[in-house]
Amino acid sequence: MPNVFDLTILGSNSSYPFHGRMCTSQILRVDQNLYMIDCGEGTQIQLSKFSIQRNKIKAIFLSHFHGDHLYGLPGMITSYMHFGRKEPLHIFGPVGLKKYLETVFEVSNVYLQFELILIETVWDVSGLIFEDQHLQVFNFPLDHRIPTQGFIFKTKETNRNIIPEKIQEFGLTHQEIKELKAGSTIVTSNGITVTTENACFPPKPDCTYVFASDTKPISKFPELAYDCNLLYHEATYLADLETLAIERGHSTSTHAATAAKEIRAKKLMLGHFSSRYDNLNPFLAESKLVFENTILAIDGETHAIN
Ligand SMILES: [Zn+2]
Ligand SMILES: [Zn+2]
């Protein structure tokens, strides 16, 4: 597990920026690497306001193409021409991603100086869509008005730590320690076979973040989502507007809390609040009746997931 695994909220409002809340966007940090989830209007303003280095964003994951999750994207990408980006940028989204960006770039006559890798995902089947040395990302289907996917971010085991006493006990060299930490079995100059399990502390447990927005309550989450460290679930409305929520493909605070309880999440974060609500405290109160460990998504706040 990485040393740092945290989430910064850039936007928590639905539909349009209001009450000082921007539209959906989040930054997931895994040690020095950043990953963006959704890119609603105003995302660039938030990146500057909260001093987030946009060149460190390795990949962007888009849940769906409603404007409040998407309309910050072209500006965000073209801004890289002013930030000297050279690293490739991966963007994942449902079918339509290529058409949308290619159209915008064509009419605006945009030429990028870095590689943009657009991946159109199969949104209605759960699967692994991205993997690097830090984490695995899986998508899964949500139930909204247009094709919409949720994401499961799962950290990968990194190098283990050596048990100091074992260095002398086995007479380990610098190179042998390096190999053991990386998971290899070694044979010392004295002919002793040493495994990672013999010489290193056990690995830290995996850590999982689940993003579910926008959606009606879904009947089944993928197995991988169960026992997650943090579930972000949309709660566009309070429970008295349940009928409206379902009609519009959204959830209430109670729906979100029920989902958290169902998948045994360790913590629940509510977000994607309707502009009709200025005061968000009732969301917290309603959710806690079902799931105690609930917090609210607040623009600019960072929460440790591990
Ligand atoms: Zn939305
Ligand atoms: Zn939507």
Cα of 49 from ligand 2 centre, angstroms: 25
Ligand at minimal distance from the CA of 12 is 1
Which stretch of DSSP H or E encloses residue 253?
A: helix 253-262
The pLDDT score that the predictor gives to residue 147 is 97
Q: Tell me what the mean pLDDT of segment 244-256 comes to.
A: 98
* Residues, CB within 5 angstroms of ligand 1 (ion): 14, 66, 68, 214
How are the residues of the chain apportioned to helix, strand and coil, as percentages rounded to the nearest 5?
Answer: 30, 30, 45
Give yes or no for a contact between 212 and 138, defined as CB atoms under 8 angstroms apart.
no
Cα of 302 from ligand 2 centre, angstroms: 24
Residue 158 reports pLDDT greater than 80: no
Provide the pLDDT confidence category of residue 240 given band limits of 50, 70 and 90: very high
Q: Of all residues in the chain, what percent carry a pLDDT higher than 70?
A: 100
Residue 1 reports pLDDT greater than 80: no
Query: Cα–Cα–Cα angle for 214, 78, 275, nearest 5°?
Result: 30
Cα of 21 from ligand 2 centre, angstroms: 16
**CATH for 5-157+204-304, options being 3.40.50.620, 3.60.15.10, 3.30.2000.10, 3.40.50.10490:** 3.60.15.10
Residue 129 reports pLDDT greater than 80: yes
Residue of 72 and 2 predicted with greater confidence: 72
The alpha helices in 213-252, defined as continuous H runs, are 242-247
Q: Which residues contact 252 (CB under 8 A, 6 or more apart)?
A: 235, 236, 237, 238, 239, 241, 242, 245, 286
Pull the structure tokens for residue 285: 């109160």
The pLDDT score that the predictor gives to residue 286 is 98
Residue 159 reports pLDDT greater than 80: no
Ligand at minimal distance from the CA of 14 is 1
Domain residue extents for the chain: 5-157+204-304, 164-199
Provide the pLDDT confidence category of residue 160 given band limits of 50, 70 and 90: confident
Which stretch of DSSP H or E encloses residue 208?
A: strand 208-212
Cα of 66 from ligand 2 centre, angstroms: 5
Q: Whole-angstrom Cα distance, residue 234 to residue 31?
A: 26
Pull the structure tokens for residue 226: 């169960």
Ligand at minimal distance from the CA of 248 is 2
Q: Of all residues in the chain, what percent carry a pLDDT higher than 90?
A: 92
Q: Whole-angstrom Cα distance, residue 288 to residue 221?
A: 21
Residue 2 reports pLDDT greater than 90: no
Ligand at minimal distance from the CA of 215 is 2
Q: Tell me what the mean pLDDT of segment 232-261 comes to.
A: 98
Closest by CA position to 121, among listed 155, 77, 90:
90
- Identified catalytic residue from 68, 132, 214, 278: 68
Pull the structure tokens for residue 35: 């990953």
Residue 204 reports pLDDT greater than 80: no
Cα of 64 from ligand 2 centre, angstroms: 7
Q: Whole-angstrom Cα distance, residue 228 to residue 190?
A: 45
Residue 15 reports pLDDT greater than 80: yes
Q: Tell me what the mean pLDDT of segment 210-219 comes to.
A: 97
Cα of 42 from ligand 1 centre, angstroms: 14
The pLDDT score that the predictor gives to residue 157 is 78
Reduced to 3 states (helix: H, G, I; strand: E, B; else coil), residue 28 is strand
The answer to whether the peptide bond before residue 214 is cis (omega within 30 degrees of 0) is yes
Cα of 157 from ligand 2 centre, angstroms: 34
Provide the pLDDT confidence category of residue 203 given band limits of 50, 70 and 90: confident
Provide the pLDDT confidence category of residue 306 given band limits of 50, 70 and 90: confident
Q: Mark whether 6 is an active-site residue.
A: no
Residue 253 reports pLDDT greater than 80: yes
Give yes or no for a contact between 39 and 25, defined as CB atoms under 8 angstroms apart.
yes
Cα of 68 from ligand 1 centre, angstroms: 5
pLDDT tens per residue, range 53-71: 999 999 999 999 999 999 9
